[in-house]
Structure 1
Amino acid sequence: MLIPNSPPARERHVAHANCRHGSTKFTDNASPLILAIAVAAALIAGAVLAQGSRDLGESFVAERAGRDEASPALATPVALIWRLSGAAVVGWAAAGLLLGALSTSLASIVADIGSTNPTVQAMLEQIAGAGNVEQGTVTIFFTMLGVLAACAAVQTVCRARQEETQGTAEVLLATPIHRVRWLGGYLVIGFVALVTVVFAGVVGAALGIVGQGGDLALMRDVGVVGGGQVAAASVFLVVTALVFVVLPRATIALGWTLVLVGMVLGLFGPLFGFPAWLTDLSPVGIAPLIEGDTVDMRGLWWLLGTTAVGAIGSLGLMRRRELVTGG
């Protein structure tokens, strides 16, 4: 515990005073990087040792014996898909909750920094548009949230490809379940997944405002950008489903590549000085946002139109598609 007149306490007081007057001097401290490298090395070594003593396809924790009959909750393809994907969706939602909380709890801090540092303010304006700094901060974090939601959606569709290559989809489709209904189940669960991630982010944003005693009016911005990212993530969902139908072997690689490219163009494109037509190719980059007191709808209708066409096209083409079991 620090006593009031100890040197560390005085140093912190001087640093705080310098920060308020914009004259803080920063020094390099390599200890966090060294700690991170050491932890990563320990985890990698542990994983290698564990892999050497693990049986193929088995885990260290014994599996529980299954039920003789399936639960009534698994009576539909949608319920089965949720059973397979639910744990991953919860994980993405937890990350969304944390990201949402950071978006509002850090908004006022970033605004204070931006008011005294034109460089920070200019960077936020480049990435997030013409709104104020708090709005820009929320927009940036929720753009990242849209990427997380897209990841949850793409992972759900990729699971359909995994079920197909492993042969379990063939067993399911040997029943009266039609292949269109089967793929439709993945689209439904994928949409539920991305909405869940964004909703968790909105809840986290509300908690961040309450925890910081901030202005609840910021929730209007959160609602607008959150809804826009739902539309943006839906595009990744249906495009991946379309790839699954047309080029099944490229589903996983191309699906994740599209998310990566969309993130780079939409989140970092303005910062890197990419032309507007290029950054507008990213769904997360043209989602609606707040600029001052107005709502910039930007490419909302393009997002909704693309989602509708992609969903209808993938389901329609699935009627004539045969199972492709090869990797």
Structure 2
Amino acid sequence: MSTTIAPDRPARTGEAVPRATAGAVLGALMRQRLRRDRWQILIWLLCIALLAMFSASAIDQTYGDANARAQLIRLAIADPTIIVLRGLPQGTSLAAVAFFEIYTFLALLAGLMNTFLAVRHSRAEEESGRAELVGSTPAGRLLPTTATVLHAVAVNAALAVVTALGFIAAGLPAYGSFVAGAATAGAGFAFFAVGLLLAQLMNTSRGANGFAAAVVVLAYLVRGIGDAMGTPFGDGTHQRSAWPTWLSPIGWGEQFAPYTGDDWRPLLLQLGLAVLLIAAVFGLQAVRDSGAGLIPERAGRATARPALGGVFGLAWRLQWPTVLGWTIGGALGGLLAGALGTVINSSIADNPALSGIRDAIGRIGGGGSGPLTQLFISAIFSIIGVLAAACAVQTVIRLRQEEASGTAELVMSAPVTRTRWLFSYVAVGVIAVLAVLLAGAIASGLSAVAAGEGASTFGDSFAAAAAQVPVALVYLGVLTLVFVLVPSWTAPVGWAALGLGAFVGIFGGLVKLPEGVRHLSPFADAPVVVGDVDWTGGYWMLGITVVALAGAAALIRRRDFAIG
């Protein structure tokens, strides 16, 4: 293998590098990042652009009439749960409604894309030992971080453009579309800085990714609470955010008010936060040891527990904190489903003008007819199903991380077959899916009974949870097959398929996407457990899962480990 000869004395940490050499090194590092991320970033950008375009087109087809859009916005303002899930109402024009429907979801995806990018080029590089090798060259320790920041700037500039083009392709005004693109990219870059800072604090890429993703989701929820607490004004089709919205970069993005206000000032908040956090990153990196996080590791046991003597015990030990986090999320979603179902039911009963919201909730829950509380529980469990599927996706990604880092080969040095190693992680994924949904079902039943519903709500909650099991398992099975066939695509395909599938399958019915498009998502074919029960889609997904896992088991023995 050819190597590049470094100067006689490599630059020390913080030491100035000759300008020509620094420029050449920075350019090489930028090219390396662009080449390494080209397919992952392309998938992310394409999915976000298509979501923007399809959402705006669906709004045009479904709510082309101004009166219909006004009714939709008034229903959203009357029911805070819709605002928590969607966004901030800012008028009834086609463009304003499209932004209300899709922006927060686009910003959530942009945040996840950026935090993963930040950790991949910082903490993951130190964890693998590559950062120390690069640091021994004229790059030192600061130029790679500089390259990563510039790489993120380029990626988010592209994100702003493709998001705007997606809206423009759907027929929305060009200037407002570029404002919307800037709002999305600004939130993404702010979360990139969050991920980069957490990479300095945590000792592992797994921990940094987990905390960064939690921050993104928390920002989404805080924004939703602030929007729901807001005050309607004007003719009742606009809402002003409450103070919690201003704690979230996603909430700042809403204040751009594309198509109605076109206010660029919130971009200063997003970029200002990013600059402050990136400056802190450079300061921390100059004083800490390479490979060490600022949060110290907990001292381990002198001897391992008996459970770690097997490959399944090891897989569970590596992932139980992640499973616990997703399970807590499922329980919180269950509490929301049980507690708010009764409130929404009584609100609509007292105000017949809000009866149209029943259809909206039914579309989110996959169809069916029945008591509104049951429909609402089914709708919320569609979202809890996303959490269960995300936990399954993260289990397979952990499988890929173990292989890429070389630790899987160490496991293979013991009397362990590749199939056994593979299915130990699959088993953890199945347990994780069941844990998330079971926690949601128990929490939903208990909160509904506490709110005054009958004991039958427990059965409704468990039925709604059971309907999401095949959906989460099909993500687990198919992504396991992707891992075996194309290992380097595991993470981008997993997250992109989950994000796109969640929007198309859950909210596609609300914006009336074409049925052919909706049924590309497993969430659209989840078993219907409200009214006429239909498990046909569940049986098909279980069959696909079994076939995918059988294919993975057969093929894992035929390929080499893909390290790096």
TM-score (norm 1): 0.85
Deviation, 1:176, is: 1.5
1:121-180: CA deviations, max 9, x gaps? 221233221323222211111011111000001101100111111111111112211111
Counterpart for residue 241 of structure 2? 30
Match of 1:212 among 451, 454, 459: 451
Change (3 A) 1:168 1:35: closer
SS in 2 for 1:295: coil
SS in 2 for 1:87: helix
Distance in 2 (CA, whole Å) between partners of 1:106 and 1:243 is 39
Distance in 2 (CA, whole Å) between partners of 1:31 and 1:105 is 23
Matches within 5 A, 1:234-313: 234-292=473-531, 294-313=532-551
Contact 1:267 1:285 (C-alpha < 8 Å) held by counterparts: yes
Counterpart for residue 325 of structure 1? 563
- Please say if 1:195 is aligned against 2:434: yes
- Please say if 1:58 is aligned against 2:292: yes
Counterpart for residue 383 of structure 2? 144
Q: Which runs of no fewer than 5 residues in structure 1 stay unpaired?
A: 1-18, 20-24
Deviation, 1:256, is: 1.1
Counterpart for residue 14 of structure 1? none
Distance in 1 (CA, whole Å) between partners of 2:485 and 2:382 is 29
Distance in 1 (CA, whole Å) between partners of 2:283 and 2:425 is 35
Contact 1:143 1:285 (C-alpha < 8 Å) held by counterparts: no
Distance in 2 (CA, whole Å) between partners of 1:325 and 1:222 is 43
SS in 2 for 1:319: helix
Distance in 1 (CA, whole Å) between partners of 2:291 and 2:488 is 23
Q: Give the residue type in structure 1 aligned to 2:232.
A: F
Deviation, 1:48, is: 5.6
Distance in 2 (CA, whole Å) between partners of 1:269 and 1:302 is 21
Counterpart for residue 3 of structure 1? none
Matches within 5 A, 1:53-202: 53-54=284-285, 55=288, 56-115=290-349, 116=352, 117-128=354-365, 129-132=367-370, 133-202=372-441
Distance in 2 (CA, whole Å) between partners of 1:66 and 1:197 is 28
Deviation, 1:76, is: 0.6
Distance in 2 (CA, whole Å) between partners of 1:96 and 1:47 is 33
Moved more, 82-91 or 43-52: 43-52
1:253-304: CA deviations, max 9, x gaps? 1011111121012111111212223322322221223233x42224121011
Change (3 A) 1:311 1:51: farther
1:56-113: CA deviations, max 9, x gaps? 4322232234344422120111100111100000000000000011111111122233
Distance in 1 (CA, whole Å) between partners of 2:309 and 2:273 is 41
Deviation, 1:243, is: 0.3
Change (3 A) 1:48 1:92: farther
SS in 1 for 2:529: strand
Contact 1:221 1:289 (C-alpha < 8 Å) held by counterparts: no
Deviation, 1:223, is: 1.6
SS in 2 for 1:26: strand
Change (3 A) 1:105 1:298: farther
Moved more, 160-169 or 219-228: 219-228
Q: Which runs of no fewer than 5 residues in structure 2 stay unpaired?
A: 1-77, 79-230, 234-238, 253-268
SS in 1 for 2:533: strand
Q: Give the residue type in structure 1 aligned to 2:437.
A: V
Moved more, 50-59 or 276-285: 50-59
Distance in 2 (CA, whole Å) between partners of 1:190 and 1:286 is 21
Change (3 A) 1:291 1:203: closer
Counterpart for residue 9 of structure 1? none
Distance in 2 (CA, whole Å) between partners of 1:57 and 1:114 is 56
Distance in 2 (CA, whole Å) between partners of 1:35 and 1:84 is 33
1:224-249: CA deviations, max 9, x gaps? 22111111100000111000000111
Moved more, 172-181 or 119-128: 119-128
Counterpart for residue 167 of structure 2? none
Counterpart for residue 6 of structure 1? none
Deviation, 1:210, is: 2.6
Matches within 5 A, 1:1-20: none
CA RMSD of aligned residues (A): 2.3
TM-score (norm 2): 0.51
Relative contact order, higher structure (CA 8 A, sep 6+): 1
Contact 2:442 2:458 (C-alpha < 8 Å) held by counterparts: no
SS in 1 for 2:476: helix
Distance in 2 (CA, whole Å) between partners of 1:248 and 1:67 is 33
Deviation, 1:43, is: 7.8
Distance in 2 (CA, whole Å) between partners of 1:96 and 1:48 is 36
Q: Give the residue type in structure 1 aligned to 2:283.
A: G
